[in-house]
């Protein structure tokens, strides 16, 4: 990803996050919604917006549907907030990496592995009489 694309992605991530928090009034946006990352194409005509929703499965589905239907509104808000020649087409994708990470941590915690014993170094260094 080029430096320009990275800068535009960071700008879009910040602005889209603010728009979702303050501008989208759809009651289907449930729970806490975070924009995790935005990936743009090289020509910045298309952007994938990865979101994380804190809530149950139905909250996630309804929030994703609400954001997809609010895409036109969000692009219009971006038009007024950012200085770009063209506002990219947005595609919202549910990012479940946090949940997957939590599941892996829970699996690791559930393993019954005794702590590794550390040999006593003081007895190894003492001269034998």
pLDDT in 10s for each residue of the chain, 129 residues: 678 888 899 999 999 999 998 888 888 887 788 999 999 988 889 999 999 988 888 888 899 999 999 999 999 999 999 988 889 999 999 987 777 777 787 788 787 777 777 777 655 555 555
| CATH level 2 (architecture), domain 3-97 | 2-Layer Sandwich (3.30)
88: which DSSP letter? P
| Coil, helix or strand at residue 126 | coil
Give me the pLDDT at residue 90, please: 95
Give me the pLDDT at residue 35, please: 93
What does each C-alpha distance from 86 to 57, 67, 81, 121 come to in angstroms?
A: 34, 20, 12, 66
Q: 63 near 103, Cβ under 8 Å? A: no
Give me the pLDDT at residue 109, please: 79
* Structure tokens belonging to residue 71: 């895409």
């Amino acid at each position: 990803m080029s430096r320009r694309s990275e800068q535009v992605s960071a700008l879009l991530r910040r602005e889209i996050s603010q728009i979702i928090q303050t501008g989208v009034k759809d009651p289907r946006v449930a729970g806490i919604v975070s924009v995790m990352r935005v990936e743009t194409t090289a020509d910045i005509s298309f952007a994938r917006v990865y979101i994380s929703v804190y809530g149950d499965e139905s909250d996630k589905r309804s929030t994703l549907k609400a954001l997809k239907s609010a895409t036109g509104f969000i692009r219009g808000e971006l038009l007024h907030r950012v200085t770009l020649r063209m506002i990219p087409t947005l595609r919202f994708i549910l990012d479940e990496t946090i949940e997957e990470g939590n599941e892996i941590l829970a699996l690791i915690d559930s393993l019954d592995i005794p702590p590794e014993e550390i040999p006593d170094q003081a007895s190894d260094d003492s001269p034998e009489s």
